[in-house]
Structure 1
Amino acid sequence: MNRQIITMKNTTRIIGLLYLMIIMSACERNLKQVDGLQDIPFPKGDRAILPHLTSNDGKLYLSWVDSLTGSSTRLLYSSLQDGRWLEPKVLTTGENWFVNWADYPMIAAHDGHILSHYLQQTATGKMAYGIQYNVSTANGKQNGTYQPLNNDHTDTEHGFVSMIPYRDSSFLVAWLDGRNMEGADHGHGGHHGGTMSVRAAEVTASGDVIDEQILDASACTCCQTTASMTSNGPVVLYRDCTEDNIRDIVIVRKVGDVWTKPIPIYADNWFIQGCPVNGPKSAAVDNTLAVAWFTAADDNPRVQLIFSNNGGEKFNAPILISNKEVLGRVDVSLIDSTQAVVSWMQSKGQETFLYAMKVNVNGKKGPIRQIAALSSSRKTGFPQMEIFDGQLYFAWMSVHDNGTLLKTAAMAITDF
């Protein structure tokens, strides 16, 4: 009798535990459904750093850097198929690369070709590196070896590249060029006897660099550049630097065959004597241009978004995205000509998160979506976001006690 009672009690407990597990499992599923973010497994993510997302030619691409044994480093990329990353393709492997948390290698795809770049140290013991680039086919065949994009042969800084598909099968490339800073102090402060310029050129499918132009003779020394293609032509945006150390975001546009003079997209009037290492991001659909950026003018750190409906010739009033302990490191993608999604990093107490939010041209904002918990350290780098096939894709570095892990995830645009 006692044994029967004990057995019944045990059975009741087991049923109760099973029921509880079913309820908890259902709750977890509901949480995932509500959150909408779907993890995309990334093999060997513990060795990968500096992710970059881009899409074109009906494909989504992810590029990254692997640090191998010793001083050897390699650049790889993969494309997404049926919700998973395909076997990576190695673009190049080398030594003495300049590997930096904010100045990351990237690729651009256009008409069956892949343009890629990395940074190569040119002198030891100081900030001196150049841009190495190459054009390959989408199946991995390279047009020769990597070669310098900048042709000045000075032991100065060259980097913060942006690259987009241009005309026919060519690419437009813009970069920061420090050739005029040779012999000057590269402390990322003021001008110190030399200025950082912004240059742009066209790279053909065969790898030739043509039509190189100086877009600006004086810019901020270490903020990312960004470029987009509008119906009126290409635009390049970056953080400027005046003689008075006002570092606002400016735009140059190519009208016909001529680049316009730099003009601010909005006068933040941010006075800062050192580079904040926090560049803008832009996106274009037809003649709608959206630009997201970070500023701390008036001691008020904030992330802002601005729209233009004429390819960057004029801009609407800026839209405040957040001014609550923001770190910046923004990205932006356009859903269509009236809606954008902005991502940014923001702290909350002792924690830091990657957030994203949908915003339309009239300033109407959707709910803030928490994408991931992050570290505020440099190891996190600059999270990436890209719209592709009705989904928003994210890539970021997760920092933990044993190192870092590259993670990717997707979320339906309709969940915003």
Structure 2
Amino acid sequence: MLLKTKLSVNPLIGLLAVMAVLVTNAPIAFADDALFTSVTDLSAPVADGAREPSLSTMIDGRVLMSWTEPQGQGFAVKVAIFDGSGWSKPQTVVERDDLFVNWADFPSAIALADGTLVAHWLQINGDASYQYDVRIARSDDEGKTWSKSFVPHDDRSQREHGFVTLLPTQSDDFMAIWLDGRNYDIYASQEIEENAMQLRARSITGNWEMSDDALIDARTCTCCQTSAVVADNGDIVAVYRDRSLEEIRDISIVRYTPQGWSAPTPVSPDGWHIEGCPVNGPAIDADDGQTVVAWFTAANDVPKVKVAFSSDDGVTFGKAFEIDNGAPSGRVDVIQQAKGSALVTWVEQTAQGEVVLICAVDPKAGCEHPRVVAVSSVGRTVGFPRMALGEQGVFIAWTEPSQEATTHPEGGTTIRTILARTGEVK
């Protein structure tokens, strides 16, 4: 079932009634116990072939979306801002025929405290499949014009550099965190400790002054997303999928203080032994003294989506909750709400196709009532659904199949966005 109809107020409730039989073993809630007070389908300002949306919150509560879509013989990275009444006219960040376009490693855009927009994208730097650089540019006029781009990593080798997190810090400063392949040779022995992707970061000011290209972890998983947040105490806290010499690939956490980056520590050891990268990174958020991390694991060949909370700015975490419905693909995102619970999205597999689920996870009770956001019965994936908390409510965006085939013989893609209100919206 392809969800192509424009939804009216509270469409999720009607969708739940249709979808209750599609997702088994989950206590799906209905109108008498609704997670959202209203849900509005927003018409995304995208062209056929649009994909891989990313969302972030601006300092004034507006929401910034970035995405990739076909343009001429190549692709363009675009941005738009939701101002309370609708999406703005899309603005082009970059248009090239050598952009690296990938369903899991995709561009993003953020707004700094002074209103400056900063965007990153990936640009091919070699002939092999995974040889590309990170590039970053800024805009002082809400995306109408963009500065000359620069590469944040010192390494210029024809290796993989990606899975970037851009994080606003203070004033017009931001932190860039990425996976760096300068020491990783996919054709060399994987038993050599130094032959691995690295986690690196550097802080960047509005004048493009950069700190050192800092090594945070010399051995990480190859192709999982990174995530970071500024905790209430001012520390930058980042999570990512680590990689031991024994090929245990669990979620680690690091923090940046005035003394520098801490050593990695596990969020909640799963013991997931896997020889290759699962392409499934964690997500972190913080608010009102509480930090939450969501992630996917398949330790002991049992796929799970887990969530853990911390009441000390991510220094220690309580026991992790298992919140999935039995057949998760992961691809999580998370928003920590002001009153304690966290909204978590993830993807599950059903006989009817991919399903995007959401749950308000309580720090004490876990996930009691998962709800269906969307379902796609077509082969193309919904990708990595993203969320952002804006002034109007919770924004959710994902890739879905379109009925047009101008860009793909087997059918196109488009981006779906919804705005949901809950009782806990700030």
Structure scoring higher RCO (CA < 8 A, sep ≥ 6) equals: 2
Q: What do you get for the CA RMSD once the two structures are aligned?
A: 2.6
> In structure 2, what is the equivalent of residue 299 of structure 1?
301
Alignment check: 8 A CA contact 2:180 2:200 kept: yes
> In structure 2, what is the equivalent of residue 176 of structure 1?
179
Q: How does 1:16-415 map to 2 (within 5 A)?
A: 31=14, 34=31, 36-58=38-60, 59-70=62-73, 72-110=74-112, 111-140=114-143, 144-181=147-184, 183-185=185-187, 194-232=195-233, 233-336=235-338, 338-374=340-376, 379-400=381-402, 402-414=411-423
- Cα distance change on mapping 1:29 and 1:224 into 2, 3 Å: closer
Consecutive unaligned residues in structure 2, runs of 5 or more? 1-7, 16-29, 403-409
Alignment check: 8 A CA contact 2:165 2:176 kept: yes
Q: Distance in 2 between matches of 1:38 and 1:26?
A: 6
Q: Distance in 2 between matches of 1:376 and 1:260?
A: 44
Q: Distance in 1 between matches of 2:12 and 2:139?
A: 43
**Counterpart of 2:87 in structure 1: which amino acid?**
W
Q: Which moved more, 1:286-295 or 1:39-48?
A: 39-48
Q: Which moved more, 1:101-110 or 1:89-98?
A: 89-98
Q: Distance in 1 between matches of 2:199 and 2:132?
A: 16
**Counterpart of 2:228 in structure 1: which amino acid?**
A
* Deviation by residue 1:386-405 (Cα, 9 ceiling, x = unmatched): 12225221111112552111
Q: Distance in 2 between matches of 1:139 and 1:293?
A: 33
SS in 1 for 2:211: strand
Q: Which moved more, 1:208-217 or 1:353-362?
A: 208-217
SS in 2 for 1:380: coil
Alignment check: 8 A CA contact 2:339 2:424 kept: no
SS in 2 for 1:292: strand
CA drift at 1:139: 3.1
- Cα distance change on mapping 1:140 and 1:30 into 2, 3 Å: closer
Q: Distance in 1 between matches of 2:10 and 2:365?
A: 35
Bigger helix fraction: 1
Percent of matched pairs sharing the same residue: 31
Alignment check: 8 A CA contact 2:117 2:142 kept: no
CA drift at 1:47: 3.1
Q: Which moved more, 1:326-335 or 1:315-324?
A: 315-324
Bigger strand fraction: 1
Alignment check: 8 A CA contact 1:289 1:309 kept: yes
CA drift at 1:212: 2.6
Q: Whose radius of gyration is greater, 1 or 2?
A: 1
Q: Distance in 2 between matches of 1:29 and 1:386?
A: 18
Alignment check: 8 A CA contact 1:230 1:286 kept: no
CA drift at 1:414: 3.1
Q: Distance in 2 between matches of 1:53 and 1:184?
A: 32
Q: Distance in 1 between matches of 2:11 and 2:311?
A: 43
Q: Distance in 1 between matches of 2:51 and 2:59?
A: 25
* Deviation by residue 1:87-126 (Cα, 9 ceiling, x = unmatched): 1111122221111100000011112111111111111134
Q: Distance in 2 between matches of 1:30 and 1:205?
A: 45
